[in-house]
Structure formats: C-alpha cells, structure tokens
Amino acid sequence: MFDVRSCRLCPRQCGADRSTGSGFCGATDKIKIARAGLHFWEEPCISGENGSGTVFFSGCTMKCAYCQNYEISHENFGKTVTAQRLAEIFNELQEKGAHNINLVTPTHYLPWIAEALEVAKPKIPVVYNCGGYENRETIREYGRYFDIFLTDIKYYSEELSAKYSKAPDYFRFALESAREMAEITGEPVFEDGIMKRGTIIRHLVLPGYRQDSIDVLRHIDIPKEKFILSLMSQFTPKGEAEKMGLGRRITTFEYNSVVDEALSLGFDTGYMQEKSSANEEFIPPFDLTGV
C-alpha cells in the first residue's frame, strides 16, 4: 500500500513526503508530464508504422549525467495534470492509432498512473518504459497494469553507476526487476510484427566503457526466450556528459565489439542499431504537446 507521506517506490527508499517534492526524483503528489504524442523512434516492434503513444513524465529516480531528456529528468520541466486528464490523454493517443500507450520514466507516479489506467481501460498494450533502477516489489505490485516492459540495464560496475547515475547498487536492482518483468510477461508475443506482450532489455554502449557493456551481457541470467535484447549505439553527449568524460560518441569498434560479444552469447534475435541513430533529431521537443 502506497503511503504518500513516505514514498518508497524506488530503490532509493528516501521516504519523502510526496506533497513537498523533497525526494530524489523531485516529484510531488501531482502528476507532471512534458509531452504526449506519437513517437516513432522506439524499437520497430514498439513504434511500428503508426507510432507509439508516448507520455514523457517529468522527474526521474536516476538523473543520469548524460540523459538525453535532461530538461525533464533533471530540471523537472512539465505541466501538472490530474489522473482524470491523464486517462483522457491515454484515450486520445489510442484514437490517433497508436500501437500502444508508452509511459516513459513512470516509476515515481505509479499509484496515480494506476488510477488513470483504471479509468481509461485502454484496448492497446501499455508499456512500462524505465531506466531499470526499480524495486522488484513495486514491479510485482503494479505489474498487472502493464503488457510490455521496456527496461534498461545500463551498468555492471558499481563505480560507473555511482559516478554517472548516483546509484552504486544499480546492477543488482536492475537485474532483479528485469527478472520480475520477464516473469510477469512471459515469452514475447507479437502480432503482425508489433509486440503485444513481453519484455525488452535495453543496453546503451557508453564511449570508453565497452568492457562494462560486455560484463552486463555476461551477467544477464534471465532465460533468453523470456526477453528481447536491444543493444543501442545512440549515445549523444547531453547534459553534464562532456564535463564528466563522456564528450564523444562511441566508435564503430566499440559498438561492434559489444555486438560480437552479444552474438557469441546467443543474443541473435534482438535489435542492434546502426551508428546513424546517434542523432539529436531523434530526441523529441519537450513543448507540452498533447498535455
């Protein structure tokens, strides 16, 4: 049962009173979103031809130094909406022909999102799109509301996750929650190439840290038939990246060496990106569209 006066939704367990916005994520007890619209730059099985009905929530439990959505994750840009309005947004996206309702960084608003989903009752899949720093218990409690989990496993190294995401315990929580997600959804289900149910685990290769990427792949101990791997090359220096030593994009050698390791480990049915996807034009404008 969620206690608004002592929030413990994420692994930080900060116990913040959500009415004050004093927690690590900066969120209050009011839903705040920065954009809602059709999004075409997710994995092909999510975006399809019609687009993914994506809602970008303000604030984040991680605040990665290089976040491409820095304006909303760190600076909490957005507009406050009610659960009723959020339900209306879900239905508007469905009416536009979206393949799914895609909730980006939803963790800190889960109780309110659940309320909105109860009202909207969407007839298309609902996607939980997160950075991976999740409580297994929270995923278990709210998992029934989601058909697809689109989660990251960003780091294996405690040093890297502490440096870039202020979360030294990241890998343990990311792997535990990914196991729970895969258990909830079971083996991926597709219809005409569009995912209807399942779990996708994303990993973004960071410049200079290909060995950590390889370590991540070697330590994902979830049965391969229960999820799809999406190996991403799109790192673009944003936010505080340059001053923290991440001022360049990854090289072809770095990415290909990680791809080779993935293939050697049996990850041969997932997604591998072209280097051309590392482009700022794929980052949507956070201008309150659809809010």
Q: Are strands 79-81 and 126-130 parallel, antiparallel or unpaired?
A: unpaired
Residues of the chain under the 50 pLDDT cut:
278
- How do residues 110-151 score in pLDDT, each as one tens digit? 999 999 999 999 999 999 999 999 999 999 999 999 999 999
Could you say which architecture CATH assigns to the domain 31-282?
Answer: Alpha-Beta Barrel (3.20)
Which residues, in sequence order, are CB contacts of 44 under 8 Å at separation 6+? Answer: 193, 271
Q: Are 170 and 132 in contact (CB under 8 A)?
A: yes
CA distance 103 to 26: 18
| Residue 26 CB neighbours (<10 A) | 19
pLDDT for res 1: 80
Q: What is the pLDDT of residue 269?
A: 86
Instruction: Give the pLDDT score at 281.
Output: 54
Q: What is the pLDDT of residue 239?
A: 87
pLDDT computed for residue 175 by the predictor: 98
Encoding tokens for residue 249? 């994009």
Res 268: pLDDT: 87
Q: Residue 12: phi, psi to the nearest 5?
A: -70, -25
Per-residue confidence (pLDDT) for residue 11, from 0 to 100? 98
pLDDT in tens, 261-283: 999 999 988 998 765 554 555 67
Name the residue among 175, 243, 236, 174 with its Cα closest to residue 207.
236
